[in-house]
Structure 1
């Protein structure tokens, strides 16, 4: 039985790969609102073909239709929000499986990307937004788009150069066209804003805006790379009033919300504010919190804030952001650190989505897929997709690494898997008794082991397996080997962890997006489950029989 299951699985993987090589199924939106129109286009279809299309939620098919298509299929999105699968059979031998989201608003399940190129006469705007929609990117950080630190929108003409280097050309027309084309595909545009940085000239004109540090007997402004000065962002600061007004101009320009950045310093009570001629100790985290919440109140638009190195995470329960955005540095080095950081951020923030700007060089493809898997299983997602064929690899976004389309197709399957089964992935962790597992398994993610977790949601149970058996290191930035492909693994777990009438289905982003039912073996008070195949990440869905 197991041999036939493995053969069947490998055949499905081969056919799936063959089918996706021949044609591609594309979405016209990054996500769909309940009951809205869906336009599915089939790329590289050479002639009209008979088709059968099914839409599923979890393991259950909820819609199907058949017909003949010349390249476009139009259906209605489901009325219930959540993750869905779509499976298309063309002719007799080509199968394409994908996933999509139904949301009321992108903030319910952010899939965050980035843009860096805003030069005049950019010619690929529509193509870029179509590309992003295939990865379900529903929100974008416009990195370094502004005219200056402080004065954000350029209103003295059409073209200007970037605030940091004054080298990269930027066009207001290009910005507005990107925003407009994004809206056509349900992609929101977030304006990058450094919330406590102004240029030196402006700072010298307003010394009461700035933060200071003691230098001998003198006071000097706190700076960043000796280019921009750090400001006081408390509610009653004049800088706060100034920047809030500039952020409102940004919204009037056309942006959907604000992405606030910081630089990780100065820490609380290590700098001073100037008030009534006196230098007073300054609590940076309080300044961040007051600015974030005032911005949210006065704009009523989406707001994100960068917790650099997960600092100051103590404000995550009070900050009125729409997600928790973390840029991990030395405080988060291992796979276990990632897992704990996400779980704690979700708990602290009351269940908000977590986005990690976790930088990995594009050449480290195995490391990317393993980190993406650990992040997804932990409960959320990573910022990595942006400009066409670019992977975010460091804190200066225009330096994103180029990658090949073959790898991007692999990543797309992972994004499809995450949206298709996002209702399961949003579940709560259930503890697995260590004593029931074999030596190859671990309930924490670490090298030389298969990380196993169990999550419970309204959709059912999800057993996740991430293959770290070939990992050289537990450090997620490390260049990892290609995992050994494992088959015919068995897991023995207590029977009381599962419903009595449960059915079990195998799925993986590595070639099996369609649920494949598997048979389990009862052993007194335990159940033996077959894990048919594991490369990077596989899962078993457990749902009631009815």
Structure 2
């Protein structure tokens, strides 16, 4: 018998019970809850087909359920405010035939707590339609009934429905009515995107900014929990209708903060997320009132190490969680195996670096380009892998996007650094995601040393290409010069039979420069987390 359980929510708030549904006729004989490697003592009761865990403290948890010889593993997290964490997915189909919510159910199972409703709107400059059924700006049939159903399903599942809204795009009809609201070149030409959308002036002194903020408020009043404030990455230098320069690096942060205040007048729990296309203008917008930093990734950010750099710099600038919209072009090609491996490695690289990736959504699909409606359906055989990678992200969030430790990846390892050394037969290690290596990322906090390993053996350093199956690295010895007592070394991976942490063999030797601990990881396929906990004396 195959055991499959489901949480009733994508995320839990403090004070909420955690409910887990069981298959028909199954009685759970054993339920174990974990935080990292540590079992959590909590009372679990069963009511019919539902396991009920009591309200738990803020944190990320793993769960193992055993029934006879069958076992199931999952993950969940508890937060005080859902805006503190953004695991972001997308929806893009809202036709009259799409009023059912299997897509939301799938996103709930993957623990996505925020979903962008892409191109749901009637027009870029008029978000809500004058009638129930309408054509979206690209001519696709859209039905408010489907949107309402999905909003309701999201909220019932602990998912925040976020409305797409471009910050400066208007149709030609509005431009003709208000040419004074537009952006212009220095030579006085109205600026357009793709030849049909007019760029509008977002400066606080321009009437457009009040207009679009009012539209954002209407969307939240309709039922959305926030606004995805989209930009197109261009232009960067513009002029207003009076031929005065408009500094977008000054106007954009003001617009973000005004939008956050506007939507919270409709719903105190609402928020905004701004698209800093290719990291522009990060320094200007990092400190704004957006819920998370969101970066749509484009060339020249082509390497795995570029993904790491985007995340690290954004975290340092903002102190916020970072979401990378990293669309996987390999899904456009015939090599589906290579595309699936590209997903595993990009997800591993982004999450190990401390970010999250927007790439999954709809009903079992992945984004293959920036027009979300052109998504790629995932093969059923790959869905269990996707589930495990999403479970791993939530279960080990303390080692991933919640890890605020100091980044010592290139000061402790590699080059002349000898604090942390890696050793394995026929295996090269790197600190900057070089081709055909095992890439290490390392963070240190007061009580934990966190090492993330991503296997690029047999592949180049470019993330958005089809990938070969990495050559497994075996018997990796990790030597750590750390003159502190260590309680243990542990490892976990989404690639093995179990998501549970395993205790690694650990030895210790004394040297004139302090103690050196050696742990051994038996195998690395795609991605593994290794951590040393510093507590009581063990050797």
Mark yes or no: TM-score above 0.5. Answer: yes
Q: Which of 22, 27, 34 is equivalent to 2:14?
A: 34
Equivalent pair of 2:274/2:294 in contact (CA under 8 Å): yes
Equivalent pair of 2:3/2:71 in contact (CA under 8 Å): no
Check if 1:202 corresponds to 2:166: no
Equivalent pair of 2:77/2:394 in contact (CA under 8 Å): yes
Look up the match of 1:526: 516
Give CA deviations for 1:32-87 in whole Å, capped at 9, x if unaligned.
112312221134x5x43452001111211113568888643122231x21211111
1:123: Cα distance to partner? 4.2
Q: Gaps (5+ residues) in structure 1? A: 1-18
Q: Which of 311, 321, 324 is equivalent to 1:353?
A: 321
Q: How large is the Cα RMSD of the aligned pairs? A: 1.9
Aligned counterparts, 1:8-87, within 5 A: 22-43=2-23, 47-63=25-41, 71-78=49-56, 80-87=57-64
Equivalent pair of 1:30/1:137 in contact (CA under 8 Å): yes
1:90: Cα distance to partner? 1.4
1:457: Cα distance to partner? 4.2
Equivalent pair of 1:424/1:457 in contact (CA under 8 Å): no
Look up the match of 1:336: 305
Give CA deviations for 1:340-381 in whole Å, capped at 9, x if unaligned.
1100001111x1011111011333111111111110111010
How many pairs are equivalent? 506
Give CA deviations for 1:219-242 in whole Å, capped at 9, x if unaligned.
321001111100100111101111
Equivalent pair of 1:52/1:65 in contact (CA under 8 Å): no
Q: Which of 148, 162, 165 is equivalent to 1:190?
A: 162
Check if 1:157 corresponds to 2:131: yes
Q: Which of 259, 276, 279 is equivalent to 1:295?
A: 259
Aligned counterparts, 1:221-300, within 5 A: 221-268=190-237, 271-274=238-241, 278-300=242-264
1:106: Cα distance to partner? 2.0
Look up the match of 1:8: none
Equivalent pair of 1:310/1:331 in contact (CA under 8 Å): no
Three-state SS of the structure 1 residue aligned to 2:240 is strand
1:282: Cα distance to partner? 2.1
1:129: Cα distance to partner? 1.9
Three-state SS of the structure 2 residue aligned to 1:505 is strand
Give CA deviations for 1:15-36 in whole Å, capped at 9, x if unaligned.
xxxx8xx221211100111231
Distance 1:88 1:459 in 2: 30
Aligned counterparts, 1:94-243, within 5 A: 94-125=70-101, 127-154=102-129, 156-163=130-137, 165-166=138-139, 168-214=140-186, 219-243=188-212
Equivalent pair of 2:64/2:71 in contact (CA under 8 Å): yes
- Going from structure 1 to structure 2, the CA distance change for 1:185 and 1:321 (only over 3 Å counts) comes to same
Equivalent pair of 1:424/1:460 in contact (CA under 8 Å): no
1:138: Cα distance to partner? 0.5
- Going from structure 1 to structure 2, the CA distance change for 1:146 and 1:254 (only over 3 Å counts) comes to same
286-295 vs 191-200, which moves further: 286-295
Q: Gaps (5+ residues) in structure 2? A: 265-269
Look up the match of 2:267: none
1:485: Cα distance to partner? 2.3
Check if 1:465 corresponds to 2:465: no
Aligned counterparts, 1:303-342, within 5 A: 303-342=272-311
Distance 1:540 1:34 in 2: 29
Equivalent pair of 2:240/2:246 in contact (CA under 8 Å): yes
Aligned counterparts, 1:376-525, within 5 A: 376-425=351-400, 426-427=402-403, 428=405, 429-430=407-408, 431-434=411-414, 435-436=417-418, 437=421, 438=423, 440-457=428-445, 460-471=448-459, 473-496=460-483, 499-511=484-496, 512-524=498-510, 525=515
- Going from structure 1 to structure 2, the CA distance change for 1:458 and 1:143 (only over 3 Å counts) comes to farther
- Going from structure 1 to structure 2, the CA distance change for 1:67 and 1:147 (only over 3 Å counts) comes to closer
Equivalent pair of 2:441/2:453 in contact (CA under 8 Å): yes
1:331: Cα distance to partner? 3.4
Equivalent pair of 1:48/1:70 in contact (CA under 8 Å): no
Three-state SS of the structure 2 residue aligned to 1:211 is coil
Three-state SS of the structure 2 residue aligned to 1:487 is strand
Distance 2:3 2:147 in 1: 32
- Going from structure 1 to structure 2, the CA distance change for 1:48 and 1:433 (only over 3 Å counts) comes to closer
Distance 2:26 2:298 in 1: 52
Equivalent pair of 2:63/2:74 in contact (CA under 8 Å): yes
Distance 2:46 2:210 in 1: 60
Equivalent pair of 1:31/1:136 in contact (CA under 8 Å): yes
Equivalent pair of 2:491/2:521 in contact (CA under 8 Å): yes
1:140: Cα distance to partner? 0.7
1:382: Cα distance to partner? 0.2
- Going from structure 1 to structure 2, the CA distance change for 1:56 and 1:474 (only over 3 Å counts) comes to same
